[in-house]
């Protein structure tokens, strides 16, 4: 018997956290914080070249972290049963993403490969890319983001298997700290058939490609 669909309410891991209201600083407070950081860096926020910087930074943050205002579970609610019996792997490769490290707020840039083994129903492929985007547009660590994408797909679609592989470069270690450019971090999460059946696992990895085998351009 197919499992019932998971509820659309937020789960205990707070995958969907609506924007803060009372606790959230005002726009002007956020801009003043940017001015403080400019002064701390050793420059003058009142000089001509920096006058508009606080406003631009605050607007950028609105884009960088827009994922906090979206519900990833709701994205996957519309599914399709008219597949003519299709029951093989569905994979979406090379979904480019841009996120930010929660330790240094430095960019993480890379690619996500997502695959699932349908259980009678499929979801629009754009929703898979949107799901990646929702989690990427938050302060992140790559390991957590990998698990969040896979777990959400598994809980909402309830397929026979889920596979998520992420390859990314972290500027918190390429432009600061150890200064090691050209390093790619690879994480994966396999659930259901892809975790339990070695043949299914090899098949999905063959479709996705060899993790770490491709260069990440413009990182």
Tell me, yes or no, whether 101 and 125 share the same domain: yes
Position 215 in a domain: no
Tell me, yes or no, whether 112 and 194 share the same domain: yes
Read off the pLDDT of residues 120-157 as tens digits, 9 standing for 90 and up.
889 999 999 999 999 999 999 999 999 999 999 999 99
For 76, the token pair is: 């996957």
**DSSP-assigned letters across all residues of 40-52:** HHT--TTSGGGTT
- Whether the CB-CB separation of 45 and 39 falls below 8 Å is answered with yes
b/e map 60-80, b = 16+ CB within 10 Å:
eeeebbebeebbbbebbeebe
Read off the pLDDT of residues 9-39 as tens digits, 9 standing for 90 and up.
344 444 555 545 468 899 999 999 999 999 9
Tell me, yes or no, whether 45 and 141 share the same domain: no
Tell me, yes or no, whether 108 and 155 share the same domain: yes
| Structure letter (DSSP) for residue 151 | H
| Residues of the chain above pLDDT 70, percent | 85
When divided into structural domains, the chain yields a total of 2
Domain that holds residue 48: 21-64
Position 32 in a domain: yes
**Can you give the CATH number for the domain in which 200 is found?**
3.30.1130.10
Tell me, yes or no, whether 104 and 186 share the same domain: yes
Tell me, yes or no, whether 54 and 92 share the same domain: no
Which of 44, 64, 84 terminates a domain? The answer is 64
Position 12 in a domain: no
Give me the helices (H) in the chain, please.
Answer: 27-41, 53-64, 72-75, 125-136, 142-157, 171-174, 193-196, 198-208
How many CA atoms lie within 13 Å of 134's alpha carbon, on the beta-carbon side? 23
Position 141 in a domain: yes
**Can you give the CATH number for the domain in which 33 is found?**
1.10.286.10
């Amino acid at each position: 018997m197919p499992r019932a669909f998971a509820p659309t309410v937020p789960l205990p891991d707070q995958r969907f956290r609506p924007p803060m209201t009372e606790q959230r600083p005002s726009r002007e407070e956020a801009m003043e914080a940017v001015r403080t950081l400019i002064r701390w860096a050793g420059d003058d926020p009142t000089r001509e070249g920096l006058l508009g910087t606080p406003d631009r930074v605050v607007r950028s943050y609105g884009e960088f972290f827009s994922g906090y205002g979206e519900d990833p579970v709701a994205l996957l609610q519309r599914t399709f049963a008219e597949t003519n019996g299709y029951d093989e792997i569905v994979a979406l490769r090379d979904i480019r993403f841009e996120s930010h490290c929660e330790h240094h707020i430095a960019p993480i840039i890379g690619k996500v490969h997502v695959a699932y083994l349908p259980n009678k129903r499929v979801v629009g492929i754009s929703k898979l890319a949107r799901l990646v985007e929702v989690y990427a547009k938050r302060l992140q660590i790559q390991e957590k983001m990998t698990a969040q994408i896979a777990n959400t797909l598994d809980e909402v679609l309830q397929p026979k298997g889920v596979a998520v592989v992420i390859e990314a470069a972290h500027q918190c270690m390429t432009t600061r700290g150890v200064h090691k450019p050209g390093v790619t971090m690879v994480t994966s999460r396999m659930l259901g058939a892809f975790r339990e059946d070695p043949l299914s696992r090899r098949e999905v990895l063959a479709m996705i490609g060899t993790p770490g085998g491709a260069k990440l351009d413009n990182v």
